[in-house]
Structure 1
Amino acid sequence: MTTPHPVPSAVPYAVVPYAPGAGPSAWPDELRRIARPEVLERWGAVDRTPHAPRLVAVPGDGGWAAAALVTARPGTAYAKIVDAVGDVPAAARAVVAYAEEQGLVQVVWDGWTVSGEDAAAAGFAPLRPPLPGGTDEPAGPRTGYVRWTAGEGVAEPAYYRQSTHFSCGAVTALLAQVRAGVVRPESLDRVSELTLWRDATNFPACEPVGLGVAVRRRWPSSSVEVFLDTEEPVLLDHLDGDEREWRAVLQRASRADADRLGVPVHGRRLSPAELREAVEAPGRCRHVLLLVSLATMQGFDVPHWVLCHGTVPGAVVVEDPWFNTGAGETWVDAHLLPVADASLDAMSLLGGEVRVRGAVLIDGG
């Protein structure tokens, strides 16, 4: 974790709209004078519109002294510097000032062009490189940096990207156990990911009870509790007929397995206060696997598991094992991701015929 550095109260900057899809020739002259062509080419290579891209520019003599391209997932409490150009320290100071004025708790920085020395001088700490994943899709820069503007941050876990579109539940459980010291980081790979998914899946999704049962079977010494505010089968709204029914049979079997293994299934939601209390518990290594909709953060309403592992003032810090490269995201967007309490609570209400909230609480011991 890193201690926030003070920022001058009057850092001059201007926020300039970003023109999605514009080539380098369409950028303002002030920007093209200080940014290398290859940087501008990367900025315009994807449609960053879903992440509210903007330029934070620092005025100078006769133009801009510095600028940074800034993005962030909707519904979150951070800002990301994609690149800073010109006077890099001045650009970093401006973005931090902007983030503080917006009430954001964190600024992260893709390591495309910034040196470790320049990042450290601006008060940013290096992030751990992500663990090797089971997908060939590029994860972004090998390095990234973080600076907390509220609180002292949280202990940094390992980051691993899921290798399929449906194994998020298994990956969050494995990441929780890595952080608890139950699983070695180097053993988190595609084999372990898909093996746990196979034990937990309701084909192809992992529903809360089945996931909790799979975790308890894999690690009998870990305490597991499931919170699910319905007794009906879940995550089946896209199916009907026999395709729905046989999955419902498996969910009923998972409930019987939970009873036999002593895994409590609470027929209610895990409240925001309880979630925060669980991951803040001193001297304990407790984690919450939370089922959320990606409608706010990504624009499509599909269920997805994230790992809640820490808190800062006003926000819960999560690991998201998936990120959208098509919108310019990298692993830096999904790692140590702060989400305001109210926003996370809203994300955890899944739509469909049955509105549900689901979570799995793991105490690694």
Structure 2
Amino acid sequence: MPSRPDAPARGAVLPFDPAARPAQLERIAPGPVLERWEAVDRSHHAPRIVAVPDAAGEGWAGAALVTARPQAAYAKIVDAVGDVPAAVEAVLDHARARGLAQVKWEGWTAGDADAAALGFTPMEAPRGTADGAGGPPAGYVRWLDGEGTAEPPYRRQSTNFTCGAVAALVAQVQAGAVPRDSLDRTAELTLWRGATNFPACEPVGLGVAVRRTWPASPVTVFLDTDRPVLLDTYTEAEQEWRAVLQQASRTDAARAAVPIDPHRLTLPAIRDAVDRGDRVLLLLSLAAMLGFDVPHWVLCHGAVPGALVIEDPWTNDTTGDTWVDAHLLPVPDAALDAMAAVERGGHRGAVVIGAPETAGE
């Protein structure tokens, strides 16, 4: 998204430093709220206080703690205190000035009526009791340019290695291929078992597993190398047998009529795919967004001006990153293009899933 001055039309924006609380903040923020703000190290998410001065100009009438993942096109309100409507309006001004696509609001202290009065829509809570553990009980979103995009369900992966399976399941739930109630741990681990290259899911194996699980769903794998992938961190001996399995995945793809396109899937092509109703499982590096240089699957399912909208099945609780960040997450095209290059070769892997075909098509 375009970079604009870090200042809203009203209020003030300043860095949030837990070691140096402003006196104005202590006068309006309840103790439990401040404790929550300071319970984790939010520095990776560039925490800011957006404050609205009081009538006398000597203190703050309202304030909000605002954070966001790097390289993303949104701002997240953790809490708003004092004059909440004024603080939230100042955050909206701040986001518009920066050209962001949306503002989200964690539901720690905000309720449905509070959010609706300020133009926010409730987001669907995570699927499964463990998915929202440690996160807010509710979350809200306000798109700043149009109506945004359709909302899929959200599920956090239950292991460190089942991101591809969760992304595929969420894609198929949104497509109507499976019911929402089927989005559970058994389905997650079962699909991962059919796709894994131990423990990661490489693109061809994931595409074949999706096709086998949902034969009515057209699948195309995009992978701009014919070499084995996702093996950089292993020893030569560990790479060898995983490479054999990846070659077997290519044989399986031929048998299952899953095409493997050797061209690099471009961002305009991803936009075209989601615009026609396809869903794109895209392999990213998390280095820029979360600070981990590891390959990771996300689901691209929507587009808004300047950004693609993804579902990220991973959250990092230690930085204050919650399901509200990872759900309906807009990422600028250029940032997503840079992230979608993994390992030393900068390869791009993707699985494009079409709408389920009906009998007679």
SS of residue matched to 1:308: strand
Which residue number corresponds to residue 7 of structure 1?
none
Q: CA deviation at 1:133?
A: 5.1
Q: Distance in 1 between matches of 2:338 and 2:134?
A: 28
SS of the residue aligned with 1:81?
strand
1:126 equivalent in structure 2:
122
User: Partner residue of 1:40?
Assistant: 34
Kindly report which structure 2 residues correspond to 1:213-252, keeping only aligned pairs within 5 A, or say none.
213-252=208-247
Match of 1:342 in 2: 334
**Equivalent position SS for 1:69:** strand
The 5 A counterparts of 1:58-69 are: 58-60=52-54, 61=56, 62-69=58-65
Number of the residue aligned with 2:171: 176
Q: Distance in 1 between matches of 2:233 and 2:9?
A: 51
Match of 1:362? 353
Name which of 295, 300, 307 aligns with 2:287: 295
What's the % identity of the aligned pairs?
63
1:209 matched residue in structure 2: 204
Describe the SS at the equivalent of 1:301.
strand
Structure 1 residues 339 and 316: alpha-carbon distance in aligned structure 2, compared to 1, 3 A threshold: same
State the 1:11 CA deviation. Answer: 4.2
In 2, the alpha carbon distance for the partners of 1:134 and 1:182 equals 24
The reply on whether 1:16 has 2:8 as its aligned counterpart is no
Match of 1:3 in 2: none
Contact 2:139–2:324 (Cα < 8 Å) also in 1: yes
Work out whether residues 133 and 163 of structure 1, in 8 Å CA contact, stay in contact via their aligned partners in 2: no
RMSD: 1.3
Report the 3-state secondary structure (helix = DSSP H, G, I; strand = E; otherwise coil) of the residue aligned with 2:28.
Answer: coil
Residues 293 and 301 in structure 1, CA contact (< 8 A), matched pair in contact too: yes
Q: Partner residue of 1:324?
A: 316
Question: Would you say 1:83 and 2:79 are equivalent positions?
Answer: yes
Distance in 2 (CA, whole Å) between partners of 1:120 and 1:248 is: 52
- How far does residue 228 in structure 1 lie from its aligned partner after superposition? 0.3
For 2:112 and 2:26, locate their aligned partners in 1 and report how far apart those are by CA, in whole Å. Answer: 24
Deviations 1:273-311 (Å, cap 9, x if unpaired)? Answer: 110000011xxx310000000001011110000000000
Question: Structure 1 residue 29: deviation in Å?
Answer: 1.1
Deviation of 1:255 (Å): 0.3
Shift of 1:238: 0.6
Q: 1:139 to 1:148 in 2, by over 3 A?
A: same
Paired residue type of 1:259: A
Shift of 1:134: 5.2
- 8 Å Cα contact 1:133-1:190 kept in structure 2: no
State the number of aligned residues.
Answer: 348
In the alignment, the residues of structure 2 paired with residue 322 and residue 227 of structure 1 have an alpha-carbon distance, to the nearest angstrom, of 23
Taking the aligned partners of 1:49 and 1:98, their CA distance within structure 2 comes to 19
Deviation at 1:27, TM superposition (A): 1.3
Q: Letter of the aligned partner of 1:351 in structure 2?
A: E
Specify the alignment match of 1:192 in structure 2: 187
Give 3-state SS (helix, strand or coil) of 2:292's partner: coil
CA contact (8 A) 2:230 2:343 kept: no
Question: Which residue identity is paired with 1:114?
Answer: A
Q: Is residue 134–residue 162 contact of structure 1 (8 Å, CA) maintained in 2?
A: no
Q: Which runs of 5+ in 2 are unaligned?
A: 1-7, 357-361
1:102 and 1:126 mapped to 2: Cα distance? 23
Q: Is the 8 A contact 1:133 1:160 kept in 2?
A: no
Distance in 2 separating the partners of 1:88 and 1:134: 30
Residue 106 (structure 2) pairs with residue 110 (structure 1): yes
CA separation of 1:302 and 1:311: change in aligned 2, threshold 3 A: same
1:16: how far off? 1.3
Q: 2:137 aligns with which of 126, 142, 145?
A: 142
Q: Do the aligned residues in 2 keep the contact of 1:108 with 1:145 (CA within 8 Å)?
A: yes
